[in-house]
Amino acid sequence: MKPTTPEKVAHLFEPLDYQLAIGSVLAGLTPGYLYADNPSKPTIALLAYQNHLVFAGEPQNGDFNQALRNLILETIVPGYFDPDQGVFFIHTSSAVWHLHIDDILAGLHPVIRQRTYLECTHLVQDWRQLLSHDFTLCPVDRELLSQPHLENLDYLKEELCSERPTIEDFLEKSFGFCVLKGEKLASWCLSEYNTVDRCEVGVATVDDFQRQGLATITTLALLDHAFAHSYKRIGWHCWKNNTPSVALALRAGFSKVHDYSIHLCALDLAIQFALNGDDHRSLGAYQEAKRWYERAISLDTAPGWVFYNTARCLALMGENQQAIDYLHKAVQRGFDDLDRIHTEADLIPLHSHPAWGSLFP
């Protein structure tokens, strides 16, 4: 695989048109790195941007997969990916690639996850009808960002740079809207990967203001602005099992287009082992899940949630004393959501255990 240019490989990425980030990289609007098997007449292309890898074209076997693996592990992961992100995601232009991912990333044990893509092409409701007098809607602009007294402003600024490299770049190329209550930023919706007449959206609501319909208001405000400024297709991506996100998109006028699969790899192998454990636990393969969790914990870098999920698995297996022990270890490792421990359905068999009360001092 050798570096190449967008015009040489754009056709290979056409099946991924619904992922606007890829189009943004190919258009030179988002930083990224392109490789191809044959730079002058490519049949396979690899795109790396942020913490994402995209395989396009028709996969091969054997030596080629090994060369691709070396490129990813020796150049892309250490050279391009932000270790603070903790994970990287693998997208593919066809399901055929799924047969090769384990070979290409042998030893990393990638897990597969389901995503949902929705799209909006017209406004279905006026946000003004939903905004109560207690709140104010404002554009996310230079004036708003110059008010350091606003509560949650740093949180918003972090979101501005989740897709754009700088706040200035966001102000130049993107747009967004937020809802305030007094001097508290409560919710916002930001455009992402603005490309010609398309963009995608990212939405966030501060914990204290959730379940008040504010995300719907900011999303509708962004859609109103987008359609008034010649945007025609607005995209929304989320995890398939993120029911609240899907419901919000539908309320705002998005329609589901399709589900798609991605692979996920954690940069910390202990976490990757635990993710495999989570998959097996969700399928009811508790013994196999336990083996993965034990591999994760043996590396000594496993965070508290790994011990917590191990306890859930053990409780489902009827190994109650071990489950209690791992709950204690989870708390010692920083897992502090005691309400979740108390209400977790998988842990109900432990409620009658003599040591259960010791978890709730």
Cβ contact 280:288 at 8 Å? yes
Domains of the chain: 2-109 (3.40.630.110), 120-259 (3.40.630.30), 268-359 (1.25.40.10)
pLDDT at 327: 94
Report if pTM > 0.85. yes
Beta strands in the chain (DSSP E): 2-3, 33-36, 44-49, 52-57, 87-92, 111-120, 136-139, 176-181, 184-195, 198-205, 233-239, 255-266
d(CA 210, CA 225): 23
pLDDT at 256: 98
Beta bridge partners of 198: 195, 233
Strand pairing report for 2-3 and 233-239: unpaired
pLDDT at 248: 97
pLDDT at 361: 65
Strand pairing report for 198-205 and 233-239: parallel
Mean pLDDT per 10-residue section of the chain, whose length is 361 residues? 92 96 93 90 93 92 85 90 89 93 91 97 96 96 95 95 91 96 97 95 96 97 98 97 97 97 94 96 96 96 95 96 95 91 94 86 65
The pair of structure tokens assigned to 240 is 């398939």
Output the DSSP codes for 155-217: HHHHHHTTTSSSHHHHHHH--EEEEEETTEEEEEEEEEEEETTEEEEEEEE-GGGTTSSHHHH
d(CA 218, CA 34): 35
